[in-house]
């Protein structure tokens, strides 16, 4: 699988360091669409802090990817659902750390979660 960042520089706003406008994927034979994943512990409980939930989310995403024979390097698209706008910066930092600084097309949306203890939810698309 080969990926190519698509970031026009004219007639559109600039992408920031942590995301790209688009990513072209060629040579992929498998696609994995990961449901919105929460920062829940194995027993289904949600820690009270955003930092703890973000740590669990990325652990849960890595677990799902591993089960499919993939890793975070296979992620080509990511959407974050945040319970509050002020969570954006910590979510960005956690995403950059989890992806080892690799930028992918990313969207963050502020929502009302089904359960008020859920502070963030992330869904990804991965390819290999």
How would residue 126 be classed by pLDDT, with cut points 50, 70 and 90? very high
The better pLDDT of the pair 14, 70 is held by 70
Residue 54, classed as helix, strand or coil, is helix
How much is the pLDDT for 16? Answer: 87
Q: Which residues contact 82 (CB under 8 A, 6 or more apart)?
A: 88, 91, 108, 109, 110, 111, 119, 120
- With a threshold of 0.85, does the pTM exceed it? yes
Alpha-carbon distance of 97 to 26, in angstroms, equals 25
Domains recognised in the chain with CATH numbers: 2-127 (3.30.1330.40)
How much is the pLDDT for 18? Answer: 86
Residue-wise pLDDT for 34-92, tens only, equals 999 999 999 999 999 999 999 999 999 999 999 999 999 999 999 999 999 999 999 99
Calculate the alpha carbon distances from 12 to 21, 32, 40, 66, 118 in Å.
10, 30, 38, 37, 34
Two tokens at 5? 């960042």
How would residue 19 be classed by pLDDT, with cut points 50, 70 and 90? confident
Q: What letter would DSSP give residue 65? A: H
CA dihedral 74, 76, 120, 83 (to 10 degrees): 180
Residue-wise pLDDT for 93-122, tens only, equals 999 999 999 999 999 999 999 999 999 999
Calculate the alpha carbon distances from 68 to 38, 57, 120 in Å.
18, 17, 23
Q: What letter would DSSP give residue 73? A: G
């Amino acid at each position: 699988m080969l990926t190519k960042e698509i970031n026009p520089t004219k007639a559109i706003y600039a992408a920031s360091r942590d995301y790209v406008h688009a990513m072209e994927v060629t040579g992929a034979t498998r696609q994995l669409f990961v449901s919105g994943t929460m920062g829940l512990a194995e027993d289904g409980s949600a820690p009270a802090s955003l930092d703890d939930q973000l740590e669990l989310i990325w652990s849960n995403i890595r677990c799902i990817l591993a089960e499919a024979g993939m890793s975070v390097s296979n992620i080509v698209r990511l959407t974050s659902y945040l319970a509050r706008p002020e969570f954006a910066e910590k979510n960005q930092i956690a995403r950059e750390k989890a992806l080892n600084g690799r930028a992918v097309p990313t969207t963050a949306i502020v929502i009302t979660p089904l359960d008020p203890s859920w502070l963030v939810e992330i869904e990804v698309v991965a390819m290999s």
